Chain A
Amino acid sequence: MSQQTDVFAGRGAHGVRPPLSTAERIGSVVWYQVVVYKRTWRGTIISRFVSPLFFLLSMGIGLGSLVDARSGGVGGVPYLQYLVPAIVAVQAMWVSIGESTYAVLGNLMWDRMYQTMLGTPLRVRDVLAGHISAVVGHIAMASVIFVAVAAAFGGFSSWGAVWCVPVAVLTGLAFTVPVFAFTATQESDSGFNILFRLVVTPLMLFSGTFFPVESLPVWLQPIAWVTPLWHGVEASRAVALGTVDPPWLALHLSVLVAFVVVGWVLAVRLFTRRLVK
């Protein structure tokens, strides 16, 4: 077949291809993740779209009617509109952690796709940046859909809601990148249970999602301040409700960026240690 001779003709005579640009390197890894997602998206529907919707209905609308009737909302804001921007941030955390644990360990240990990539011109940081970019895509997609659905239920009072999406992406990254680093240290998936029980669930409960942190016992409040979720929730709420206080917003975003930067340095180091032997 001519097709076949074509494949073997001139092999090695192609000369040296120009080096790939950073965008091409990262893009090739993102493309792999897109191909994978085309095959797995059905399995993510429940955790990604149905769970947040249940929260919206039960807490926002169910509990919300009680709160609004008793105390006129939280600080004058209807409970649903108080809660929804926070759920956007919480969902970003969920998606991030869902995409940075089993999938990453699988690529490290089970199908060894990272090792495969590192046999090509890609470098450790390309592989990481590519996979993390794909996770950003997941977070953005989930956030956009949830914001649209919540808006239909009256969860937002202004167009500030659209700003919830970039805030959610940053919040998600503040989890994704450090959790990638954490996963690089794991030899099995048993560590993830600890992560879910000790980090994800307590953070959701104590980061000012359902009620202001100030309602917590004083000794618990500082915990919220050092976790990314509280900063994400506060920033998301401020942009959605139009109550932005620039220095505070800058502080929240800076903390989130700090998590991303420190996580990145750790992740590159730990992935290199794990993969380059």
Chain B
Amino acid sequence: MSEGTADDVLLEARGLTKMFGSFTAVENVDFAVQRGELFGFLGPNGAGKSSTMRMIGAVSPATSGTLRVFGLDPAADGPRIRARLGVVPQEDQLDQELTVQENLWVYGRYFGLSRAQVKERTAGLLEFAQLSERAKDRVEPLSGGMKRRLTIARSLISSPELLLLDEPTTGLDPQARHLLWDRLFRLKRQGVTIILTTHYMDEAEQLCDRLVVMDHGRIVAEGSPRSLIEQYSTREVLELRFDAHDHAEYAGKLAGIGERVEVLPDRLLVYTEDGDAAAAAVHSRGLAPLSSLVRRSTLEDVFLHLTGRTLVD
């Protein structure tokens, strides 16, 4: 954990609320991000992650509450804040008619970079995005993952201090995802603060120093991945699959085994400190699961516990 003083707080939200008409998308959330941190927002569809990111990105005004980014108020100093940000929106917004490199050139100019600076940076960024061979191709026929990588490269053209990534790896293949993780670590080591949202638990677990879990516009938990798992789950999980249409009917038969049982449509999760012992107990009751698997708890379990939902799309 970072032991920052108040001076190191890059971003602070208090009572932050976003309403669309009478609908509350983000309700009274508090969080702070330290300089150099890699901070995550985790939550199901519609939780309010993008709405929060857009407020931080100074493109969407807060309905109420206070928000300070670099100590500045987005309502008053939007351009000054945005000059120091790199943004990857959830939906790629590329000019499909222009070439890959033209998209970068044009974007860099919005930050006041000279043409020479923009061109100089483009080569390295395309290398990073593994798009060097496509530099002169139009964007439109590129694959979804290539467009995503281009959007990520574009966000870096202005050397941002704070990077906002809204589901950066959605649509990327595993190789590209891991490459991006590696690059994010490198950026972090160079002092860049990174905030991301994700649906991938492994991503959140691997990348984030700290994260908040959002649900229905509220923050329901906050901490490091490790501490969240310790706080909201057990050490191990026993996954059981039965030959049954409704796994709920088996839940009762497991009473007393483990600390808690979650029922999913296709399996049961038994939360326990000792998975093997729990498995033995299940068998000793004469129950014969089709499959039985012991694993460590992950953020997925934290998420399931907190929101009652799995995050698998």
Contact = CB atoms under 8 A, between A and B. Distances in A.
**The 6 nearest A-B residue pairs measured at CB:** A7-B124, A120-B110, A28-B109, A121-B83, A12-B161, A20-B112
A152 interface: no
A111 B94 contact: yes
A14 interface: yes
A28 B183 CA distance: 29
A36 B139 CA distance: 13
B121 interface: yes
B60 interface: yes
Contacts of B80: 16, 19, 121
A191 to B, nearest CB: 23
B125 interface: yes
Interface residues of B, number: 47
Interface string A1-32: 10111111111111011011000110111011
Nearest to B161: A12
A121 B161 contact: no
B191 A7 contact: no
A121 B110 contact: yes
A119 B82 contact: yes
A24 B98 contact: no
B305 to A, nearest CB: 33
Given A3-B124, A17-B83, A115-B59, 6 more contacts: A3-B123, A14-B159, A16-B80, A17-B111, A28-B106, A39-B98
B124 A4 contact: yes
B187 A19 contact: no
B102 A122 contact: no
B186 interface: yes
A12 B190 CA distance: 7
Contacts of B97: 36, 39-40
A12 B95 contact: no
Given A7-B156, A10-B159, A36-B97, A118 B59 contact: yes
A123 B83 CA distance: 11
A103 B96 CA distance: 14
Interface in B14-66: 20, 57, 59-61
A116 interface: yes
